[in-house]
Protein backbone atom coordinates (compact mmCIF):
# COMPACT_ATOMS: atom_id res chain seq x y z
CA UNK A 1 0.00 0.00 0.00
CA UNK A 2 1.55 3.24 -1.07
CA UNK A 3 0.22 6.71 -1.62
CA UNK A 4 1.75 10.13 -2.23
CA UNK A 5 1.42 12.31 0.84
CA UNK A 6 1.87 16.08 0.91
CA UNK A 7 3.06 18.30 3.74
CA UNK A 8 3.75 22.02 3.64
CA UNK A 9 6.54 23.81 5.37
CA UNK A 10 5.96 25.98 8.40
CA UNK A 11 7.74 29.06 9.71
CA UNK A 12 7.94 29.59 13.45
CA UNK A 13 6.80 32.93 14.85
CA UNK A 14 7.82 31.84 18.33
CA UNK A 15 10.95 29.78 17.76
CA UNK A 16 11.90 26.29 18.87
CA UNK A 17 15.51 26.67 19.89
CA UNK A 18 17.02 24.03 22.16
CA UNK A 19 16.28 20.50 23.28
CA UNK A 20 15.51 19.16 26.72
CA UNK A 21 16.00 15.61 25.39
CA UNK A 22 18.09 15.21 22.27
CA UNK A 23 17.27 11.57 21.66
CA UNK A 24 13.49 12.03 21.72
CA UNK A 25 13.57 15.64 20.45
CA UNK A 26 11.71 17.12 23.40
CA UNK A 27 12.15 20.90 23.20
CA UNK A 28 13.03 23.35 25.98
CA UNK A 29 10.09 25.56 25.07
CA UNK A 30 6.74 25.64 23.28
CA UNK A 31 6.87 27.12 19.80
CA UNK A 32 4.22 28.48 17.43
CA UNK A 33 4.23 28.54 13.66
CA UNK A 34 2.32 29.32 10.49
CA UNK A 35 2.09 26.60 7.83
CA UNK A 36 2.48 28.05 4.30
CA UNK A 37 1.20 27.15 0.86
CA UNK A 38 4.32 27.99 -1.16
CA UNK A 39 6.69 25.18 -0.19
CA UNK A 40 5.83 21.55 0.22
CA UNK A 41 7.13 18.00 -0.05
CA UNK A 42 5.42 15.01 -1.67
CA UNK A 43 6.52 11.61 -0.40
CA UNK A 44 5.62 8.01 -0.95
CA UNK A 45 6.91 4.99 0.95
CA UNK A 46 6.95 1.35 0.00
CA UNK A 47 7.89 -1.31 2.54
CA UNK A 48 9.41 -4.03 0.41
CA UNK A 49 10.72 -7.39 1.61
CA UNK A 50 13.07 -7.64 -1.34
CA UNK A 51 15.10 -4.63 -0.17
CA UNK A 52 18.20 -5.20 1.93
CA UNK A 53 18.54 -1.52 2.99
CA UNK A 54 16.30 1.52 3.36
CA UNK A 55 16.48 3.76 0.30
CA UNK A 56 15.84 7.49 0.05
CA UNK A 57 15.35 9.04 -3.38
CA UNK A 58 15.07 12.81 -3.17
CA UNK A 59 14.11 14.71 -6.32
CA UNK A 60 15.12 11.65 -8.34
CA UNK A 61 18.55 11.28 -6.74
CA UNK A 62 19.45 8.46 -4.39
CA UNK A 63 20.77 9.89 -1.09
CA UNK A 64 23.71 8.67 0.99
CA UNK A 65 23.37 6.99 4.37
CA UNK A 66 24.03 10.24 6.27
CA UNK A 67 20.89 11.88 4.84
CA UNK A 68 18.95 8.73 5.68
CA UNK A 69 19.45 9.18 9.42
CA UNK A 70 16.45 11.37 10.26
CA UNK A 71 14.31 9.37 7.85
CA UNK A 72 15.24 6.09 9.49
CA UNK A 73 14.26 7.33 12.91
CA UNK A 74 10.73 7.76 11.58
CA UNK A 75 10.79 4.49 9.61
CA UNK A 76 12.03 2.54 12.64
CA UNK A 77 9.23 3.90 14.81
CA UNK A 78 6.67 3.00 12.13
CA UNK A 79 8.10 -0.52 11.87
CA UNK A 80 7.97 -0.84 15.64
CA UNK A 81 4.33 0.28 15.79
CA UNK A 82 3.27 -1.89 12.85
CA UNK A 83 5.32 -4.90 13.90
CA UNK A 84 7.08 -5.20 10.54
CA UNK A 85 10.73 -5.53 9.61
CA UNK A 86 10.78 -4.79 5.88
CA UNK A 87 13.08 -2.12 4.55
CA UNK A 88 11.54 0.85 2.79
CA UNK A 89 11.92 2.75 -0.45
CA UNK A 90 11.18 6.43 0.25
CA UNK A 91 10.62 8.71 -2.71
CA UNK A 92 10.38 12.41 -2.06
CA UNK A 93 9.93 15.50 -4.20
CA UNK A 94 10.54 18.95 -2.78
CA UNK A 95 8.45 21.69 -4.33
CA UNK A 96 10.47 24.78 -3.71
CA UNK A 97 10.12 27.67 -6.13
CA UNK A 98 13.31 28.99 -7.72
CA UNK A 99 16.36 29.79 -5.61
CA UNK A 100 18.07 27.33 -3.31
CA UNK A 101 18.36 27.28 0.45
CA UNK A 102 14.70 26.71 1.17
CA UNK A 103 14.43 22.94 1.17
CA UNK A 104 12.89 22.21 4.49
CA UNK A 105 13.19 19.34 6.87
CA UNK A 106 9.81 20.33 8.36
CA UNK A 107 7.73 19.51 5.28
CA UNK A 108 9.94 16.53 4.45
CA UNK A 109 9.69 14.72 7.76
CA UNK A 110 6.00 15.53 8.15
CA UNK A 111 5.22 14.08 4.70
CA UNK A 112 7.31 11.05 5.59
CA UNK A 113 5.37 10.46 8.81
CA UNK A 114 2.14 10.45 6.80
CA UNK A 115 3.41 8.30 3.92
CA UNK A 116 5.28 5.75 6.04
CA UNK A 117 2.45 5.20 8.51
CA UNK A 118 0.01 4.80 5.61
CA UNK A 119 2.29 2.32 3.84
CA UNK A 120 2.60 0.25 7.01
CA UNK A 121 -1.19 0.11 7.38
CA UNK A 122 -1.27 2.18 10.56
CA UNK A 123 -4.12 4.60 10.90
CA UNK A 124 -2.73 7.35 13.05
CA UNK A 125 -4.59 10.43 14.18
CA UNK A 126 -3.02 13.88 13.86
CA UNK A 127 -1.61 13.85 17.35
CA UNK A 128 0.15 10.55 16.67
CA UNK A 129 1.39 11.77 13.28
CA UNK A 130 2.76 14.88 14.95
CA UNK A 131 4.76 12.79 17.44
CA UNK A 132 6.07 10.62 14.64
CA UNK A 133 7.18 13.62 12.57
CA UNK A 134 8.78 15.13 15.68
CA UNK A 135 11.26 12.31 16.17
CA UNK A 136 12.53 12.97 12.61
CA UNK A 137 12.85 16.72 13.04
CA UNK A 138 11.30 18.86 15.78
CA UNK A 139 9.78 21.57 13.60
CA UNK A 140 8.11 18.90 11.42
CA UNK A 141 5.56 18.13 14.14
CA UNK A 142 3.89 21.49 13.44
CA UNK A 143 3.48 20.82 9.69
CA UNK A 144 0.83 18.18 10.38
CA UNK A 145 -1.55 21.11 10.84
CA UNK A 146 -2.51 23.96 8.56
CA UNK A 147 -2.60 27.57 9.70
CA UNK A 148 -1.19 28.38 13.11
CA UNK A 149 0.01 25.47 15.24
CA UNK A 150 1.63 25.29 18.64
CA UNK A 151 4.11 22.59 19.58
CA UNK A 152 3.39 21.85 23.21
CA UNK A 153 6.75 20.79 24.58
CA UNK A 154 5.59 18.04 26.92
CA UNK A 155 7.94 15.90 28.94
CA UNK A 156 8.21 12.62 27.02
CA UNK A 157 7.41 11.05 23.64
CA UNK A 158 3.69 10.81 24.32
CA UNK A 159 3.18 14.35 25.59
CA UNK A 160 5.23 16.28 23.01
CA UNK A 161 3.25 17.17 19.88
CA UNK A 162 1.66 20.07 18.02
CA UNK A 163 -1.92 21.25 18.30
CA UNK A 164 -3.90 23.52 15.95
CA UNK A 165 -4.34 27.11 17.12
CA UNK A 166 -6.17 28.94 14.31
CA UNK A 167 -6.87 28.22 10.64
CA UNK A 168 -5.31 31.56 9.58
CA UNK A 169 -8.10 32.19 7.11
CA UNK A 170 -7.69 35.92 7.43
CA UNK A 171 -5.54 38.66 6.01
CA UNK A 172 -2.06 37.38 6.88
CA UNK A 173 0.74 36.33 4.53
CA UNK A 174 4.49 36.01 4.25
CA UNK A 175 7.02 37.11 1.71
CA UNK A 176 10.36 35.32 1.52
CA UNK A 177 13.46 37.31 0.72
CA UNK A 178 15.91 34.71 -0.52
CA UNK A 179 19.37 35.91 0.24
CA UNK A 180 21.98 34.74 -2.20
CA UNK A 181 25.25 35.22 -0.38
CA UNK A 182 25.07 31.71 1.05
CA UNK A 183 27.89 30.61 3.31
CA UNK A 184 28.57 27.36 5.11
CA UNK A 185 25.92 27.12 7.74
CA UNK A 186 25.77 25.77 11.24
CA UNK A 187 22.80 23.35 11.06
CA UNK A 188 19.86 24.17 13.32
CA UNK A 189 20.53 20.94 15.20
CA UNK A 190 24.15 21.86 15.91
CA UNK A 191 23.39 25.56 16.42
CA UNK A 192 20.75 25.07 19.09
CA UNK A 193 22.88 22.49 20.89
CA UNK A 194 25.87 24.78 21.04
CA UNK A 195 23.69 27.65 22.22
CA UNK A 196 22.04 25.64 25.00
CA UNK A 197 25.42 24.36 26.20
CA UNK A 198 27.48 27.53 26.03
CA UNK A 199 25.48 30.76 25.63
CA UNK A 200 24.93 32.76 28.84
CA UNK A 201 22.03 34.46 27.03
CA UNK A 202 20.11 31.21 26.69
CA UNK A 203 18.50 31.49 30.14
CA UNK A 204 17.23 34.97 29.30
CA UNK A 205 15.72 33.66 26.09
CA UNK A 206 13.88 30.90 27.91
CA UNK A 207 12.56 33.22 30.60
CA UNK A 208 10.91 35.56 28.11
CA UNK A 209 9.06 32.89 26.15
CA UNK A 210 5.88 32.40 28.15
CA UNK A 211 5.08 36.08 27.80
CA UNK A 212 5.71 36.00 24.03
CA UNK A 213 3.56 32.92 23.59
CA UNK A 214 0.55 34.17 25.46
CA UNK A 215 0.83 37.57 23.76
CA UNK A 216 0.96 36.08 20.26
CA UNK A 217 -2.00 33.81 20.95
CA UNK A 218 -4.01 36.86 22.01
CA UNK A 219 -2.88 38.66 18.85
CA UNK A 220 -3.93 35.70 16.69
CA UNK A 221 -7.31 35.61 18.38
CA UNK A 222 -7.71 39.30 17.58
CA UNK A 223 -6.50 38.70 13.99
CA UNK A 224 -3.96 41.48 14.43
CA UNK A 225 -1.17 41.17 11.83
CA UNK A 226 0.54 44.12 13.48
CA UNK A 227 0.76 42.51 16.90
CA UNK A 228 1.57 39.05 15.54
CA UNK A 229 4.40 40.56 13.48
CA UNK A 230 5.75 42.71 16.26
CA UNK A 231 5.92 39.81 18.72
CA UNK A 232 7.39 37.43 16.13
CA UNK A 233 10.08 39.91 15.09
CA UNK A 234 11.14 40.49 18.68
CA UNK A 235 11.14 36.77 19.36
CA UNK A 236 13.36 36.07 16.35
CA UNK A 237 15.82 38.80 17.34
CA UNK A 238 16.09 37.31 20.82
CA UNK A 239 16.74 33.85 19.41
CA UNK A 240 19.44 35.15 17.10
CA UNK A 241 21.02 37.10 19.97
CA UNK A 242 21.64 33.84 21.84
CA UNK A 243 23.93 32.58 19.07
CA UNK A 244 26.29 35.56 19.50
CA UNK A 245 26.83 34.49 23.10
CA UNK A 246 27.69 30.90 22.19
CA UNK A 247 31.20 29.46 22.25
CA UNK A 248 32.39 29.50 19.55
CA UNK A 249 30.03 32.35 18.63
CA UNK A 250 28.13 32.26 15.37
CA UNK A 251 25.39 34.05 13.49
CA UNK A 252 23.08 33.16 10.62
CA UNK A 253 22.99 36.77 9.50
CA UNK A 254 24.84 38.01 6.46
CA UNK A 255 25.11 41.55 5.15
CA UNK A 256 22.28 40.70 2.72
CA UNK A 257 20.08 39.60 5.63
CA UNK A 258 20.68 42.94 7.30
CA UNK A 259 19.86 44.76 4.09
CA UNK A 260 16.57 42.83 4.00
CA UNK A 261 15.78 43.64 7.64
CA UNK A 262 16.41 47.31 6.92
CA UNK A 263 14.09 47.15 3.94
CA UNK A 264 11.34 45.78 6.20
CA UNK A 265 11.86 48.61 8.68
CA UNK A 266 11.65 51.04 5.77
CA UNK A 267 8.37 49.43 4.68
CA UNK A 268 6.99 50.16 8.15
CA UNK A 269 8.02 53.80 7.86
CA UNK A 270 6.07 53.90 4.64
CA UNK A 271 2.94 52.75 6.41
CA UNK A 272 2.92 49.03 5.60
CA UNK A 273 2.33 46.37 8.19
CA UNK A 274 5.60 44.48 7.78
CA UNK A 275 7.77 42.60 10.24
CA UNK A 276 10.50 40.01 9.77
CA UNK A 277 11.56 36.68 11.12
CA UNK A 278 14.62 34.52 10.42
CA UNK A 279 15.59 30.91 11.04
CA UNK A 280 18.83 28.93 10.93
CA UNK A 281 19.97 30.55 7.68
CA UNK A 282 20.35 33.98 6.05
CA UNK A 283 16.91 34.25 4.41
CA UNK A 284 14.46 36.82 5.75
CA UNK A 285 10.72 36.22 5.92
CA UNK A 286 8.39 39.20 5.94
CA UNK A 287 5.19 38.87 7.95
CA UNK A 288 2.53 41.05 6.37
CA UNK A 289 -1.06 41.36 5.21
CA UNK A 290 -1.97 39.09 2.33
CA UNK A 291 -3.72 42.06 0.78
CA UNK A 292 -0.45 44.03 0.80
CA UNK A 293 1.81 41.27 -0.57
CA UNK A 294 1.87 42.71 -4.09
CA UNK A 295 2.69 46.26 -3.03
CA UNK A 296 5.36 45.05 -0.61
CA UNK A 297 6.91 42.91 -3.31
CA UNK A 298 6.85 45.89 -5.65
CA UNK A 299 8.74 48.02 -3.14
CA UNK A 300 11.28 45.25 -2.42
CA UNK A 301 12.01 44.93 -6.15
CA UNK A 302 13.96 48.17 -5.79
CA UNK A 303 16.57 46.25 -3.74
CA UNK A 304 16.09 42.59 -4.65
CA UNK A 305 15.46 40.67 -7.85
CA UNK A 306 12.19 39.03 -8.81
CA UNK A 307 13.65 35.55 -8.26
CA UNK A 308 14.59 36.43 -4.67
CA UNK A 309 11.03 37.27 -3.66
CA UNK A 310 8.50 34.51 -3.03
CA UNK A 311 4.97 35.15 -1.81
CA UNK A 312 3.31 32.74 0.57
CA UNK A 313 -0.13 32.42 2.09
CA UNK A 314 -1.34 30.21 4.92
CA UNK A 315 -1.32 26.58 3.84
CA UNK A 316 -3.04 23.30 4.77
CA UNK A 317 -1.94 20.47 7.01
CA UNK A 318 -0.79 17.01 5.95
CA UNK A 319 -2.95 15.14 3.41
CA UNK A 320 -2.91 12.10 1.16
CA UNK A 321 -3.03 12.76 -2.59
CA UNK A 322 -5.46 10.82 -4.75
O1 LIG B 1 11.37 26.15 13.34
O2 LIG B 1 17.14 19.21 15.40
O3 LIG B 1 13.40 21.30 13.51
O4 LIG B 1 10.94 26.66 15.42
O5 LIG B 1 13.83 26.74 12.41
O6 LIG B 1 15.64 18.61 13.49
O7 LIG B 1 14.70 19.10 15.75
O8 LIG B 1 15.41 21.75 12.06
F9 LIG B 1 15.42 28.77 13.40
C10 LIG B 1 15.39 27.70 13.95
C11 LIG B 1 14.22 24.28 13.58
C12 LIG B 1 14.70 25.48 14.27
C13 LIG B 1 13.02 27.33 14.60
O14 LIG B 1 14.96 23.17 14.05
O15 LIG B 1 15.75 20.94 14.41
C16 LIG B 1 11.70 26.65 14.43
C17 LIG B 1 14.17 26.79 13.77
P18 LIG B 1 15.80 19.39 14.78
P19 LIG B 1 14.80 21.73 13.42
The reply to whether ligand 1 has any atom less than 6 angstroms from the CB of 281 is no
User: pLDDT at residue 266 above 80?
Assistant: yes
Residues 159 and 207 in one domain: no
Q: What residues contact residue 147 under an 8 Å CB cut-off, 6+ apart?
A: 34, 35, 164, 165, 166, 167, 168, 169, 314, 317
Residues 125 and 219 in one domain: no
Domain assignment present for residue 319? The answer is no
Domain that holds residue 159: 5-167
pTM of structure: 0.97
Residues 148 and 195 in one domain: no
**Residue where a domain stops, chosen among 167, 190, 210:** 167
The pLDDT tens digits of the residues spanning 85-117 come to 999 999 999 998 655 456 678 999 999 999 999
Residues 113 and 190 in one domain: no
Query: Which atom of ligand 1 lies closest to the CA of 16?
Result: 4
Characterise 147 by phi-psi region: left (phi > 0), alpha (psi -120 to 50), beta (else). left
Name the domain count of the chain: 2
Whether residue 212 contacts residue 242, with contact meaning beta carbons closer than 8 Å, is answered with no
Q: How many Å lie between the centroid of ligand 1 and the Cα of residue 80?
A: 25
The packing angle between helices 126-136 and 105-119, to 10°, is: 120
Residues 185 and 76 in one domain: no
Instruction: To the nearest 10°, report the CA torsion of 81, 82, 87, 92.
Output: -80
Return mean pLDDT, the chain. Answer: 95
Residues 226 and 126 in one domain: no
Query: Which atom of ligand 1 lies closest to the CA of 151?
Result: 4
The pLDDT tens digits of the residues spanning 198-241 come to 999 999 999 999 999 999 999 999 999 999 999 999 999 999 99
The reply to whether ligand 1 has any atom less than 6 angstroms from the CB of 25 is yes
Domain holding 230: CATH number?
Answer: 3.30.70.890
Which pLDDT score is estimated for 1?
80
Amino acid sequence: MTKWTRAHTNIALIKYWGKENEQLIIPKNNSLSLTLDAFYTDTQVDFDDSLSEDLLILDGVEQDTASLKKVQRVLNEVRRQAGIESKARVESINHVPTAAGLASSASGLAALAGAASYAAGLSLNKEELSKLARIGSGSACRSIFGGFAEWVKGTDHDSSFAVPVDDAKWDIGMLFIVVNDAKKEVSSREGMKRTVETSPFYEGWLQSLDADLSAIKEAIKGKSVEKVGEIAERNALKMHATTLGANPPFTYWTSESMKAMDAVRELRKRGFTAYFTMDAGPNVKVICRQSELEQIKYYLLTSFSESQLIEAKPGPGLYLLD
